[in-house]
Amino acid sequence: MTHRTPTILAVLILPMLSLASAQGSTVRIGFFPNLTHAPALVAIEKGYYAAQMKGVKIETKDFVSGTTLSEAFAAGAIDIGLIGPGPAINAAVKGMPVQIIAGASEAGALLVARKGSGITSYKDLAGKKVAVPSLGNTQDISLRAILADAGLKAQTDGGNVTIVPLAPADVAAAFVSKQVDAALVPEPWAALLEGQGNKAVGDEKTVWRNGNYPSALVIVSTKFAQANPEIVKGFLRAHLQAIRFINKSPAAAQTAVSSALFKLTNQKVDARVLQLALKRTRFTANVDIEALKAYSQLNLAAGYSRKAPDFDALVDLTMLNALNASQGQLQATPRTALGLK
């Protein structure tokens, strides 16, 4: 027992010393005020980031879309962020030094038609204006796939569907003023639109892959990760803690998300709306790499990139798997099983 004590103490103390050595450091975390980013909303609201990264100054910033968050990454203004697969892939293709280190959520996006628009099916989108959070983001890429399946095209591709970039929180007002006819939006904004009498013509399962697709992932600046591995590990511990809390205590998580959304958007989401939105969204740190590869092909078809990223370089779940293993959780999808090193 005695001879093992120093080793045990070293195991316990070294991470603390490493993190302590980072004291005075700052980590800048980006996310969206959407339910699909609930792990970040909960981690902030419950103080998980501060608890798991003691001694580190934590700055959080919300973004309208993955496109704007990617721009912040490119400018060196964000170190870690939750983002959709589309912008993450585009960032990697453009040579931005980012890595996907965990998942956050799956599904949780719906295509909602404005009441009175006459839209009851995907084919009815012909000649209409459809809102997405931003051009090139995950919902935009999904929408272009939906249009292709319905035999339609965006106006920019020679078709007659006008795709309009619009912040999800602003879609309700745009519906009232009839600026747009439909919107492919993440939760809880889809459920909110439905609650106002608008109609969902595509739910989270019909949007793509029967709902088995990532809506939000965790990316990190590779430069920041190399310089601050213990901070990144602390972030992931908080991230996993938030996901466990959401899945085990949905009612309490709903309260935390509602409070965070109100602070960020000044909109009070009805409890029943938020409850419905939660049921349509899955929260997991796992990463479906086959879905990422499929997204990459949609991205190519949409014309947002000319090549697929190097998924071996883009996805690194080593730290996530180590934390899961230390906490007795199942590992995320093994990279080797997916042909990744």
Give domain limits for the chain. Answer: 26-108+212-327, 109-211
CA atoms within 13 A of residue 148's CA, in its CB half-sphere? 12
Q: How far apart are CA 104 and CA 36, in angstroms?
A: 8
How much is the average pLDDT of 8-28? Answer: 51
Q: How far apart are CA 66 and CA 17, in angstroms?
A: 35
The mean predicted confidence, pLDDT, of the chain is 87
300: confidence class by pLDDT, cuts 50, 70, 90: confident
- Is pLDDT above 60 for 8? no
340: confidence class by pLDDT, cuts 50, 70, 90: very low
Q: So what's the pLDDT on residue 4?
A: 36
What predicted TM-score, i.e. pTM, was given to this entire model?
A: 0.82
Q: So what's the pLDDT on residue 328?
A: 67
Q: What is the pLDDT of residues 50-75, one digit of tens each?
A: 999 999 999 999 998 788 888 898 89
Q: How far is CA 159 from the centre of its chain?
A: 29
Q: So what's the pLDDT on residue 329?
A: 62
CATH classification code of 109-211: 3.40.190.10
**109-211 has the same fold as 26-108+212-327:** yes
Indicate the angle between helix axes 289-302 and 85-93, nearest 10 degrees.
70
| Identity of residue 139 | Q
CA-nearest of 157, 131, 169, 151 to 32 is 169
| Identity of residue 22 | A
26-108+212-327 belongs to CATH 3.30.1490.190? no
Would you say the C-alpha torsion 133, 140, 174, 71 has a positive or negative sign? positive
CA atoms within 13 A of residue 235's CA, in its CB half-sphere? 30
315's tokens: 């996805």
Q: What is the pLDDT of residues 113-171, one digit of tens each?
A: 999 999 999 999 999 999 998 888 888 988 998 999 999 999 988 999 999 999 998 99
